[in-house]
């Protein structure tokens, strides 16, 4: 039996299955005489299957039913009877259709009628042939150029065909495009229906395929054209949108600094590319995938639909059995170095992205966002806050086809900016600009909520800050006359003092510094400043008091040296520094009284060591 050549024998009964009706062409074969039959039989199971698909607004159902109408017209002109035979499928049959139940019912009709089964399904033809049923595998269609290509030129990014409207197209380049009308004829439902049937027809050829098929919506990938077909009830009318990439860029085409390129090549393994629609996110992701592939890394992609412009050595995966989680199980077995996850949208997508990254796979994710921090926000609540920096280390924001901002993430345990008390320390995710390392945002848990808080950039000291600094100097000069004060924010400051005075400032269990913070209403970090030269000059000191003496404490390294005590430029005492680093002035002495007056009047007090 010749399965693929033209069949011209007389007295031939023909049974048509679902696949050959959806693909079309039988009516043309009858009209041209390449199919000569005594009787054409269409199983009831086929009609029910097509009707079910059409009821779910799937274009293939409409295409199959329309082909039946054309077959009846063509067969009528040739006086060839067309009959419907077989039993209608039950609910159980329909539920098992993906396991071959409907196909088995079609084969039964062919067997009972002693007919030849015409099919476009290779698996169906193999099973029927094995069961001894005469078959004809109809695969003689020639791929033709689809009509929608007439709307495209080198600068057309997408074409929008909507029932009741003029055809329109986006033209330009990523980030700089305009929507314009490209025709003068209003599109009708019949025209769009025929266009959709043609698109589904070409989806069967190599390099094409149906990526998504839902009631009222189908997505087809034809070469590098992504085609979305929608119809009622999903949309109020028929609409076809065809998207086509117009540029293919490498990282060299972007304004990437040497520092960022080094991070891409050597360090970044949790990269998030964000930006608004049409900004060039997927183009950058494709370039990054090709960059890693050319560096000898094993690169895979997760896409639905698969439309990234990547090198042939990069394998493109889609949802396995409707889920990227299933795809991830297979992905781990092939051990990729990097995976490009195009369009992270669903909650399970974020979890799959995180799971893969935590297993050690380098991940590059693409997320829709109007601002770079919005992309990070989308991970909050979907994965645990503390592991976000382990999943994301670099965030790239793309706008108008350019890299506009890059951030890095780091987890620290600290008191969040703007808080005062030490016991408020917690895990904080710092978000810093990559190029200058400036801190812009912090993410942490506040109460029951995860919050992202902007950190104000440092500004020149205002008059209020100068007054605050003077007030702090006034307080801490009692401990160290040469204390240094730096105002960090409106709510925090850093004080640097000589090492031996820190214990006096902190107090037992931190009681003294806590009292100072409450009194001053500001968080204070106390740090030791670098030791000054001991060859001579002013010494840092702190005050202490006993029942009988006033004491000036200096560093013990000065023990045994002679020092003068100065108050408002007047020498009030000269003494040897004790072995504990103390200068004692008896309270009843005139020098102690002068010292007390200088302290109360906020005068200048100095301890000068002699050479």
Tens-digit pLDDT profile for residues 371-403? 888 889 999 889 998 899 999 999 999 988 889
Distance CA 24, CA 16 (A): 11
Domain residue limits, the chain: 13-137, 147-243, 251-454, 463-528, 537-609
| The two three-digit tokens of residue 155, written as one number | 């600068």
| Answer CATH for 147-243 from 3.30.450.90, 2.30.42.10, 3.30.930.10, 3.40.50.300 | 3.30.450.90
Distance CA 468, CA 263 (A): 42
CB 400 within 8 A of CB 279: yes
Relative to beta strand 225-230, strand 217-222 is: antiparallel
CB 14 within 8 A of CB 37: yes
pLDDT greater than 50 at residue 534? no
Instruction: Please list, in sequence order, all residues whose beta carbon lies within 8 angstroms of the beta carbon of residue 396, skipping any fewer than 6 positions away.
Output: 271, 272, 273, 274, 284, 372, 403, 405, 406
Question: Greater confidence, 60 or 237?
Answer: 237
* Winning range, highest mean pLDDT, from 246-250, 376-380, 477-481, 590-594: 376-380
Instruction: Say whether 463-528 and 147-243 share the same fold.
Output: no
pLDDT above 70 covers what percent of the chain? 89
The partner residues of 171 in beta bridges, in order of sequence, read 156, 178
Distance CA 290, CA 248 (A): 11
Among candidates 132, 103, 100, 95, which has minimal Cα distance to 119?
103
pLDDT for res 87: 86
Fold designation for 251-454:
Rossmann fold (3.40.50)
pLDDT digits (tens, 9 = 90+) for 97-128: 667 788 889 999 999 998 999 988 888 888 88
CB 440 within 8 A of CB 447: no
Instruction: Please list, in sequence order, all residues whose beta carbon lies within 8 angstroms of the beta carbon of residue 443, skipping any fewer than 6 positions away.
Output: 376, 380, 385, 388, 428, 429, 431, 450, 451, 452, 453
The partner residues of 543 in beta bridges, in order of sequence, read 552
| The two three-digit tokens of residue 177, written as one number | 């495009």
Q: Which CATH superfamily is domain 463-528 in?
A: K homology (KH) domain (3.30.300.20)
Distance CA 533, CA 167 (A): 82
Q: What distances in angstroms separate CA 285 from CA 116, 300, 325, 343, one per listed residue?
A: 51, 12, 21, 10
pLDDT for res 6: 43
Compute the radius of gyration of the chain from its Cα atoms: 40
Q: How confident is the model at residue 596 (pLDDT cuts 50, 70, 90)?
A: confident
pLDDT greater than 70 at residue 568? yes
H-assigned helices in 33-137: 44-55, 59-77, 91-95, 101-113, 122-130
| The two three-digit tokens of residue 152, written as one number | 């495209």
DSSP secondary-structure letter at 487? E
The partner residues of 159 in beta bridges, in order of sequence, read 169, 242
pLDDT digits (tens, 9 = 90+) for 195-226: 887 787 776 665 567 778 788 888 888 888 88
Q: How confident is the model at residue 367 (pLDDT cuts 50, 70, 90)?
A: very high
| Phi then psi dihedrals of residue 18, to 5 deg | -65, -40
* Helix H or strand E encompassing 261: helix 258-266
Q: How far is CA 502 from the centre of its chain?
A: 47
CB 562 within 8 A of CB 576: yes
* Residue spans of beta strands (DSSP E) within 244-356: 270-275, 299-302, 315-317, 338-341
114-150 burial string, b = 16+ CB within 10 Å, else e?
Answer: ebbbbbbbeebbebbeeeebbbbbbeeeeeeebebee
pLDDT for res 501: 78
How much is the average pLDDT of 169-193? 84
DSSP secondary-structure letter at 545? E
How much is the average pLDDT of 453-477? 68
pLDDT greater than 90 at residue 315? yes
For the full predicted model, state whether its pTM sits above 0.75. Answer: no
pLDDT greater than 50 at residue 579? yes
| Phi then psi dihedrals of residue 176, to 5 deg | -145, 75
**CA terminus-to-terminus distance, the chain:** 117
pLDDT digits (tens, 9 = 90+) for 5-49: 443 444 588 999 988 888 778 888 888 888 888 899 999 988 988
13-137 architecture in CATH?
A: 3-Layer(aba) Sandwich (3.40)
Distance CA 417, CA 422 (A): 12
């Amino acid at each position: 039996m010749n399965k693929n050549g033209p069949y011209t024998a007389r007295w031939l009964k023909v049974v048509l299955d679902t696949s050959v009706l959806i693909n079309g062409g039988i009516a043309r074969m009858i009209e041209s005489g390449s199919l000569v039959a005594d009787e054409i039989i269409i199983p009831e199971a086929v009609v029910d299957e097509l009707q079910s698909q059409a009821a779910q607004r799937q274009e293939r159902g409409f295409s199959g039913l329309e082909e039946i109408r054309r077959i009846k017209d063509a067969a009528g002109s040739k006086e060839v009877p067309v009959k419907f035979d077989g039993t209608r499928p039950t609910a159980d049959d329909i539920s098992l259709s993906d396991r071959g139940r409907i196909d088995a019912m079609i084969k039964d009709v062919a067997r009972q009628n002693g007919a030849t089964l015409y099919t476009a399904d290779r698996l169906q033809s193999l099973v029927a042939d094995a069961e001894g049923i005469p078959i004809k595998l109809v695969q003689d269609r020639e791929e033709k150029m689809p009509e929608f290509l007439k709307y495209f030129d080198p600068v057309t990014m997408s074409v929008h065909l909507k029932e009741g409207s003029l055809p329109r197209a986006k033209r330009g380049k990523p980030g700089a495009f305009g929507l314009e009308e490209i025709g003068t004829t209003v599109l009708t439902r019949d025209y769009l229906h025929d266009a959709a049937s043609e698109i589904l027809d070409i989806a069967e050829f190599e390099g094409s395929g149906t990526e998504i098929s839902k009631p009222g919506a189908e997505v087809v990938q034809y070469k590098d054209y992504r085609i979305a077909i929608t119809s009622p009830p999903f949309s109020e009318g028929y609409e076809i949108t065809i998207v086509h990439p117009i540029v293919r860029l490498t990282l060299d085409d972007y304004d990437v600094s040497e520092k960022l390129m080094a991070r891409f090549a050597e360090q970044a393994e949790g990269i998030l590319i964000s930006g608004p629609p049409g900004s060039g996110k997927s183009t950058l992701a494709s370039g990054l995938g090709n960059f890693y592939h050319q560096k000898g890394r094993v690169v895979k992609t997760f896409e639905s639909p698969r439309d990234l412009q990547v090198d042939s050595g990069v394998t493109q995966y889609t949802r396995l059995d409707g889920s990227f989680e299933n795809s991830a199980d297979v992905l781990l077995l092939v051990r990729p170095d990097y995976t490009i996850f195009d369009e992270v949208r669903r909650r399970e997508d974020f979890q799959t992205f995180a799971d893969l990254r935590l297993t050690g796979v380098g991940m590059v994710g693409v997320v829709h966002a109007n601002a770079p921090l919005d992309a990070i926000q989308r991970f909050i609540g979907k994965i645990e806050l503390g592991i976000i920096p382990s999943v994301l280390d670099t965030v790239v924001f793309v706008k108008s086809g350019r890299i506009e901002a890059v951030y890095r993430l780091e987890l620290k345990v600290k008191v969040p900016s703007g808080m005062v008390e030490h016991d408020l320390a917690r895990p904080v995710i710092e978000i810093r600009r990559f190029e200058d390392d400036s801190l812009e945002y912090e993410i942490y848990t506040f109460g029951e909520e995860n919050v992202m808080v902007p950190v104000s950039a440092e500004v020149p000291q205002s008059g209020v800050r100068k007054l605050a600094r003077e007030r702090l100097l006034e307080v801490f000069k009692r401990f160290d006359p040469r204390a240094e004060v730096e105002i960090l924010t409106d709510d925090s400051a850093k004080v640097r003092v000589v090492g031996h005075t820190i214990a006096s400032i902190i107090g037992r269990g931190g009681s003294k510094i806590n009292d100072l913070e409450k009194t001053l209403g500001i968080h204070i970090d106390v740090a030791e400043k670098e030791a000054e030269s001991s060859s001579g000059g002013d010494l840092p000191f702190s005050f202490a008091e006993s029942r009988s003496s006033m004491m000036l404490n200096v560093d013990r390294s000065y023990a045994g040296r002679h020092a003068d005590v100065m108050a408002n430029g007047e020498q009030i005492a000269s003494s040897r520094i004790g072995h504990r680093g103390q200068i004692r002035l008896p309270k009843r002495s005139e020098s102690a009284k002068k010292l007390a007056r200088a302290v109360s009047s906020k005068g200048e007090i100095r301890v000068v060591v002699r050479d």
